[in-house]
Structure 1
Amino acid sequence: MMDTHEALAELASQGLLRTRRVVAGPQGPYLEVEDSQLLSFCSNDYLGLANHPEIVAAATTALHKYGMGAAASPLISGHSAAQEQLEHDLAAFCGQPAALSFSNGYMANLGVIGALVGVGDTVVVDRLSHASLIDGARLSGASLKVFPHNDAARLEQVLARCSSPRKLVVSDAVFSMDGDAAPLANLAAVCARHDAWLLVDDAHGLGVLGPQGRGSLAAAGVQAPHVLLMGTLGKAAGVAGAFIAGESGLLAWIMQRARTYMFSTANPPALAAATSASLSIIVREEWRRQRLRQLATQLRTALTGLPWSLLPSDTAIQPLIVGDNHLARRLSQRLRTEGLWVPAICPPTVPKGTARLRISLSALHTDSHISQLAEALRRAAQEHHA
C-alpha cells in the first residue's frame, strides 16, 4: 500500500504539490482570497460575465420557476424546458444543426469519444491535447496514436497508414496552457480525405474567437458533417456545463451511447436559463472581445525585456515560460505578496522543463492592472538576478 504522506512529501520536494485557496464572493478582476484581496490573472472568465447582472437575474427567475435540482438524468425526467431551449440556442450560436448538453467538458469529451470509437478503432490526438481528450481516448479501448503539435502534415501520414474501420482525430482549438490555436481548416481537410471524424475542444475559444464570439470553427470557416465541436460554458460564458454540437444524426447516436450523458443527473434548469442569457450578451457585446485583444497587446509590450519569455499567443491566455518548477512557484508567491494572483503551472500539466506563470486576461481588466502586473514582474526579475 502506498505511503501517502511520503508520496505527498516527494511531490512537495519537486515543486509539484498542488493546493487550493478559498475564494469568497463573486468572480471579477479582484478576488477575496483567504482574507486578502488579490488582483486576479488566474481566472478563465475571459469576457467578465461570471457576475453579470443579466445572467444572475435569468438564473434567479428560473429558480423560482423550476426550483433547484433537475433530479434525474436527461433521459429520465431531468430534461427541462430550459435545457431544451438552451440546446436550440447553442446550436444556433455555433451555426450547427444540433447541440447536446453535458455536465462539464471533461464528461463531454469522455462520453463522446467512447460513443464514437471502441476496440479495433483508432483515436489520433494532438500531443498537447487536454487531459480529458487523452483520457477519453484511453478509456474508449481504441488504439491511441499521437501526432506532433499542430502538424497537419504528420496527421495525414498517420491517417494514411491507418486501416481501422472508424477513425477519430481530437484536438484543442485553443490550447489551454500555450494559448496558441490549432490549424482547424487544415485538420478538417485532412480528416475529410481519410474518412475520419474530427472532435474539436473549443473550451478556450468559444465566446472569444470568431464573429460575435461564435468560436474557433466559425473563425476558421469550418462546418462539415464529420466535424464535432465541444464547448465549455464555465469560461468565457461565465456559467457552467458543456455541450457537443454537430450533425443531428451523429448527436442522436451520441445521446444513445455516451455513458457520461446517460448516467449523469441533468444540470439544474436555472443554469440552462443563465447560459441562454449569457449567449445573448456574448453576441451583442463585441467590446469585450476587442478589449481582450487590446489587453494582450498591452501586456506583451509591457513584459518586453524580462528574463522569461511569453509564448506567442493572440488569445486571453498569455503563458510566461520560467522553466524551473520551484522558481515558477516562488514567482507566483512573490506576486501574491504584492496583491496579484498569477498561478504557477508545472508538470505534468505542462511538459517537463516548461513550468510557467499562466496569465489569464479578462475584458474587465484595466490598463492600470496590466501596468501593476508588469511592474511587479520586473521587480521580481531584478531580485532573481541580484
Structure 2
Amino acid sequence: MSGPVERMTLTHLQIPFKESCRGVGDEAAIKDAILVTVETSDGLGLGECAPITAALGEASETLEECWADLADRIAPSLLGRSFTTVEEIHDLTATWTANSSAIAGAETACWDALGQSRHAPLAEMLGASRDQLGLKVESGLAVGLYPTVVELLKAIETHLAEGYRRIKIEIEPGRDVELVHAVRQHFGDIPLMVDARGAYTIADLDTFRELDLFDLLMIEQPMAADDLAGSAALQAELVTPLCLDESARSLDMISEAMRLGACRIVSLKIQRVGGLGPALAMHDLCHQHGVACWVGTTPELGIGQAHGIHLAALGNCRYPTDLGPSARWFVDDYAAPHLELAAPGILSVPSRPGLGYQMDHAKVRRYQVRQSEFTTRTTG
C-alpha cells in the first residue's frame, strides 16, 4: 500500500438467511453486517464486520457497538496511515480499543488493500506455500437444532447432495445422544462432529462417554468458554478430540488450554479474534504444539467468508471449514462473484491479488440500511 488511507466507508447491510439460523434456544432470520472499505491512491480494500449471530450464542458484541467503534475510534486512527507490511497493520490495530469484530472489519480491509498493492493473494501473504495455494479448501455442512429429529435429517439430506465433506450438528443437554445416533443410523460413516456451544459441565460425563462411542471427528466447545479445567478433565476421559471454539479468543487462552490439555483442535474465527493477523498467530501457535485447526464462521456474508477461505488454505487447517457458498446461508449476497463450490464440497482459494473478490454495488445499494463516509478532510 504505497498511498495513505484517504477514505473509509461503513455500510450497514441486512440480508435475510435462506432459512432461520437456528441455535441453542434462539434463531435469527436476518444477518446484519458492516461492509468496511478503505480507499488509497492504489485502490479499494474490502473488509467485513460481522458480529456473531445471536442464535449461535456468544453474541457479546452488537452491531451498534461495532458501528460506534469503527466510526469513533478506528476511522480517525486509520485515516492518513499507509502500510508496506502486515506487521505495520498489526502495530496499528494493536492500539485499537474496540470490539473484535469491528477491528476485524477494518484490519481485513487493510490486508486486502496491501495485497492488491503487492500483487499477492492474501493466502500467500498469510504464509501458504505455492503448493497449498494450488489446493482447494474443503467445506463442511453445519446445521443447527431443529424441533424434531425428522426435520434435522431432512435438512442434512437436502444439503449433502452438494458434496459437503463432513456434517456438524448442534447438541444441547437432553438432545444429544439421540440426535447423533439418528444421524449415524441414517447417513452411515460420513465424517461427523457435534457442537455443544458450551452448554455442558463435567457432571455430564456419562453423556460424553456415550457420544465417545460414535466415532466423531470432534466435540466442539463442550464446556463454558472460561472452563478450561473442565474441558481438560473431560478430554482426559475421552478418545474423541475436543475442539475449542468460544474459548479460542486469544493467544493466552490457547496457551493455557494447551498447557492443561483441554483440547486437541481449535476453531479459528476471524471475527472473534480481531482479524487475519491474530488468527494467523493462533494458527502458528497451534501448529508449534501439534494442535490442529480449522476455520469457523459467524456466519459472515460473502466478503467476510472470502477472507476465511484464504486463512483456511494454511497447512495446519486440517479439517473442513464451516465456510460455504453464499447460497448455503443467504437469499442473496453482495460479494462479486458469489461464493460458490468449485466442485462438490470444495471451495477455491482465489489467486488474484488481495482478497480476490469485489463488491456488487447494486446489491450493496439494495441491502443497505445506512452508510457513513470518513475522509482525511472530514470526520464523517
Task: Give TM-score scaled by structure 1 length.
Answer: 0.35
Rg comparison, structure with higher value: 1
